[in-house]
Structure 1
Amino acid sequence: MDSYEPGAHSFVLKIWIEESGDAAIPTKWRGHITHVPSGQRRYFEALEEIIHFVQPYLEEMGVQFAPRQGLPQRWLKCLRHRLTR
């Protein structure tokens, strides 16, 4: 089976909790996203950075974004909600 799918991109998203060990310092979460075909990876501390990583791949596929639109915010809002529960 051919793993390359024209017109598709795969990404792996990993998110973890980073505890400081000091009760006075709030716990933070971190993450990274990897583009599977190229192996390119970006570490992030804000969910919006995921959009900045994925958007160029979508534009390469012909997806057009209105100025300042970015990716649909609904999926990002859902992910943020799940991380803060």
Structure 2
Amino acid sequence: MEGGEPVGKGQVNLSYHWMNQTGDKLLEDGIRTALSENVYPNQSTESNMIIKLPQKSGHYLLRLSLVQEGVSWFYLAGGGYLDIPVKVLK
């Protein structure tokens, strides 16, 4: 994996939470994806990530955010996030 393994205190990774439609968290910490390169302010990068779906069918909200391991999720520290509505069919 380019960019190293998604572990270690201070490492910045891409991850997610699963939430219900009212915004309650159903899964706190999703699978971590290491960034393929360093990303500086006002830059962007693309990354493929693995996302594990909820076990039950239904309507969910997938919240994507960066997380600095052992420190904080970026959105909790004033950074951005992306919420995506998802319908899971089983």
Fold shared by both chains (TM-score > 0.5): no
More helix by share: 1
When Rg is computed on C-alpha atoms for both structures, the one with the higher figure is 1
Asked which structure has the greater RCO (Cα within 8 Å, sep 6+), the reply is: 2
* TM-score in terms of structure 1 length: 0.30
Answer 1 or 2: which has greater strand percent. Answer: 2
